[in-house]
Amino acid sequence: MLMTVMSSSTSSSAVASTAATNVVFEIGKYKVVLQRAEPETTCSTKSSNIPVPPPKPLLIGMPCEAGEFPLLLLLHGYLLSNSFYSQLIQHIASHGFIVVAPQLYTIAGPDTTGEIKSTAAITNWLSEGLQFLLPPHVQANLSKLALAGHSRGGKVSFALALGKEGNTDRKFSALIGVDPVDGMDKGKQTPPPVLTYVPHSFDLDMAVMVIGSGLGEVKRNPLFPPCAPKGVNHEDFFNECQKPACYFVAKECGHLDMLDDETKGIRGKSTYCVCKNGKSREPMRKFVGGVVVAFLQAYLEGDSSHLMAIRDGLDETLPVELQIVKFNL
């Protein structure tokens, strides 16, 4: 089913749906705190107080208020810092989710096997170690666990969910690929390859959402390849997903436009010049944050109203123009 975004109707039901959808694209009702945790192998004095340190450095976003919250494991893109996603993490967490964003590596080659195994280790650590990092009044509901990844992290997320490498004690209930990339081109996939180019071949047994950027497959200049090349990008990932799956492509938005407004350091500065970008990062970041919240509400909490309103194009305040909307339910 292919749809384009339409103006909202004047019916009372459409207005109600639009009003509800507005909520997910803005910061939610919960105040959020960001917390870092280091593995035992580092020299951090703070981590020495953690009874069960995490396998990798973590950035955790959590609501300040008391409650039990679903959990999202969010994987960063190629050679990026988890701190570059702090505004996105805060957006999602403010709607009542705990977001755990590991730093999987600082330097990496083409092979993603180590990242897949590290993500499996972090997933297995959650049940024994995460609660030590949370305040007593904040509880993680690990029966409602989702996995998401951006760019190369999207590939790693799909690879782990498909059982390519590593085993997890916990079952994921939902999977999200944010502009996922499986290599440089068709036939030039990074190991282990995820895409098979067989339609609906991903046997995942969970709901899947794929988010794409309209400018990701466009070169910024002749010196650099596109950051999300055709043949190994969001379109191919969605084509291999089974039901239920949904797919959004944000027009005139770039591969890195969901990052923080300001990303510091050499790597942070490179995010402005490597990929073809949109005019600003805020619209794509608000869209990604909002549609992730809507998807998690639908498949972790049983409330699909926000996701369906986005699908049906009822929200005039959508922060981006959608190029493609597909649902396979």
| Tally: H helices and E strands in the chain | 8, 10
Sheet holding 322-328, edge to edge: 2-3, 322-328, 245-250, 207-213, 174-178, 138-150, 67-75, 98-102, 58-63, 32-37
Q: How far is it, in rounded angstroms, from Cα 189 to Cα 181?
A: 9
Q: Is the dihedral of CA 131, 133, 135, 139 positive or negative?
A: negative
* Angle, CA of 85, 124 and 169, to the nearest 5°: 125
- Residue 53 · residue 38 · CB < 8 Å: yes
- In this structure, the number of other CB atoms found within 10 A of the CB of residue 85 comes to 29
Q: Is 255 a catalytic residue?
A: yes
Q: Which residues pair with 75 in a beta bridge?
A: 149
Q: Which residue in 8, 17, 179, 312 is the catalytic one?
A: 179
* Angle, CA of 281, 33 and 76, to the nearest 5°: 45
Q: Which residue in 151, 182, 213, 257 is the catalytic one?
A: 151
Residue 31: what residue type? Answer: K
Q: Is 151 a catalytic residue?
A: yes
Q: How far is it, in rounded angstroms, from Cα 70 to Cα 146?
A: 8
Q: Which residue in 118, 255, 260, 315 is the catalytic one?
A: 255
Q: How far is it, in rounded angstroms, from Cα 151 to Cα 327?
A: 21
Active-site residue numbers?
A: 151, 179, 255
